Amino acid sequence: MAPGPAVAPGAGARLASVTVDAADPPALARWWARALDWRLGHADAGEVDVDPPEGEPGVPLVFVPVRDAKDGPNRVHLDLDTSSPAEQRETVQYLLDTGARRADVGQGDAPWVVLADPEGNEFCVLDPRPQYEGCGRVAAVVVQALRPQALAAFWAPLTGWDVVRSDPAASALRDGHRGPYLEFVRTATPHAVKNRWHLDVRPTSPPPGQDRVVRAAREAGARPVDVGQHRRVRWVVLADPEGNEFCVLSGRAG
C-alpha cells in the first residue's frame, strides 16, 4: 500500500520529547533515570523531566500526572540497547531488581525481553544488534502502526528526522547518524484509547512557528483532539492519521 500524504517539508519542527502519563511522576521519573542512567531535569507540579547525559544522544522523557489508569498495552514504547548477551542478561536482572516485572505482549520465543516498569508500561531489552551501535541507552522509540510507511512519511517532517527505512512491516526515522531511531512497526490493532506515551514536537522557527506546524500537520491528515487539556495551555494537541495523540509545543527549539 502506498504511503499517505506527508507533512510538508517546510513544517519547521523537531522532536522535543516523549511524554509519559504517570500516577506518580516523581517516582516513575526517578525509576527511569536510574534504569537508563540518565539525569533528572526540570521538575514542578506539572512535570518531571529525565534527560540524557550531557553530550550524549537521546530524546528527553517528560512525566506528567494523570488520574486515569493504564488500559491495555501501550502503542508507544522504548527499546533498550545492549552490546552482548551477557549485558542483556545483566540489564534484565538489574531492572527486575529495581522494580520492573516481566510482561507478555504476545512476543513468544523472541530474542528480546519484554518488561514493564513499576506503573505497567511495557518496554523491551533488545538482544545485541549492530544497527543500534551509537544510539545510546535507548535504541528506539517504537510506535505501533497500521501503515508503517505512511506514518513514517507523516512524522519525518514533524520531527526533522530522516526516513532511513521504509518497509510495509517496519519503517524508521533517525536524526542523521546519531541517537535513537523512531520506528513504526506494523500491528493489526487500531488505536482505541488515549496513548499513555506520546511524542512532542517543537517549532524551529520564531512565531508564528507553532501555527505553521499545526497547519502543516492538519493538511497532512492530523486532527485536533481533546484529552482534557486546559483551554489556556501553550501547546496544541493533535492526533496523527492513525489517532496517536501528540503535542505541538510553543517556542522555538534550541
More confident residue, 74 or 211: 74
**What does pTM read for this prediction?**
0.92
DSSP per-residue letters across 116-164: E-TT--EEEEPPP-GGGTTS-SEEEEEEEESSHHHHHHHHHHHHTPEEE
Phi, psi (rounded to 5 degrees) for 146:
-70, -35
Q: Identify the residue with better confidence: 254 or 232.
A: 232
- The closest of 244, 29, 246 to 143, measured between CA atoms, is 244
| pLDDT tens track for 18-39 | 999 999 999 999 999 999 999 9
CA–CA gap between residue 28 and residue 32 (Å, rounded): 6
Taking all residues of the chain, what is their mean pLDDT, rounded to a whole number? 92
pLDDT of residue 251: 78
In angstroms, the Cα distances linking 38 to 52, 53, 65 are: 5, 6, 20
pLDDT value, residue 8: 47
DSSP 27: H
Ordered by where they begin, the domains of the chain are: 9-248 (3.10.180.10)
Identify the band that residue 115 occupies on the pLDDT scale cut at 50, 70 and 90: very high
How many Å apart are CA 161 and CA 144, to the nearest integer? Answer: 18
The pLDDT tens digits of the residues spanning 56-72 come to 889 999 999 999 999 99
pLDDT at 234: 83
Reported as a single tens digit per residue, the pLDDT across 195-252 is 999 999 999 987 778 989 999 999 999 999 988 777 777 889 999 999 999 999 987 6
Residue 113 — left, alpha, or beta (φ > 0 → left; ψ -120 to 50 → alpha)?
beta
